Chains A and B, each alone.
Chain A
Amino acid sequence: MALFRYHRPGDLSEAHARAVTPGAMYIAGGTDLLQLVQERVTQPAEVIDVNRLAPPEIETSEGGVRIGAGAKLNAMAAHPLVRERYPVVAEALMGSASPQVRNMATAGGNLLQRTRCLYFRDVATPCNKRQPGSGCSAWDGQNRQNAIFGGSPTCIAVQPSDFAVALLACDAEIVLASPGGERRVPMADFHRLPIEAPEIETVMEPGELITAIELPDRAAQRRSRYLKVRDRASFEWAVTSCALSIRMEGGAVSEARVAVGGVGTKPWRLPNVEPAIVGQALTEQVITSAAERAAEGAEPRQHNAFKVPLLVGTVRKALREFAQMEAVQP
């Protein structure tokens, strides 16, 4: 592996001061960062270990649940507060990576994992995200994995986190800290569209640290589930996925979040599907016609046009399974 220095800062201000120096990067579980170093996509001069600064605790807070940014994926998926109140989050996590990686990877690092776009991880090819201004090899190349929402000729890379899609359905907020203080960013606003600067993926400022993720109580009042479609049964990123968080009152949907993964340059909500189910009972007819609207506005490229019908089918299946679940335990 390419050489870099390793530091374990004592507090946030030391971490921040180091992180803003050229070539410095934070490391948590290391599961994405070290892959990128091995493939020479990223060459840090120094890594700053945030494990002591990003706590792993998962606890109730203001009626909701606060997940420390250092929580491991497996620990979150197994935690009763997550499993019972936000099943969509636990299911998305259990369907992520492998048991070994889930024991290492953290909540904070997961949201910042880089795209699986083939060209981003192949240093022999042009890629605007890896090398700004070099061009996008995927636009007219092998773009089977790439996005159908939120792209432009600059970049059509999918943001691959399953967790982020589930968090979007739960109206989660990301807590960011710097020596100047703390701020909260809704999951929906955390990732940026790759329009002008695809190399800048989030609204985080240099040196800022993710310290926690907050899930509100109102999302715990809804029922939720996650459906992931992939090229093999396990241990694979999503081709498409669907996170549902729905409140039923008197047999009809009173509030709905339908978020999808594998298709957007950031976690994507479906603005036309949600109103098509609100106020309705989840009958087969309502489900089918709502799901038909899932891919409205999609802009597929040559090899990923299959994601349009696949997304419709994914949303339909997720809604059907949700309706069956409701029928069994109303």
Chain B
Amino acid sequence: MQLIEQHIAAHKNVPGALLPLLHAIQDDIGYVPQDAYKSIGKALNLSVAEVHGVVTFYHHFRTEPVGRYILQICRAESCQSMGSEKLEAHVKAELGIDYHQTTADGALTLEPVYCLGNCACSPAVMLNDEIYGRVDANKINQIISEARAGELA
């Protein structure tokens, strides 16, 4: 909570502060805890309901803790044309989870994404901030096992 208070103090006077503040919190601890809505609202002169409304409007913001890595699979048209549906099914089976869930070992959270701007190298996925192109079952298995071993940045 102290960390969150620091972010709030740093953003309080920024015009249109709410999104930059939510990003700062999520970058830091991986999600935006609902407990923080009250102090955020107080600092920015918003009601708790308004803060909640903003957090839930945007797909990027999460209100629950996540795994060490976030694996995003592109579901958009260009990646579909190169077999992303199969890839998606493979990953779900491999990890035993669906979208918006985290593996039991806490290594990976699976998220859908709609285009990573890597459409000339479809299908594409992103692991935290690193992007991968022309991903097939072998490549994704390797990415997953490296992430599990904690070998990636």
Co-complex (A, B): no
Interface set of A (CB-CB < 8 Å, partner B) = none
Interface set of B (CB-CB < 8 Å, partner A) = none
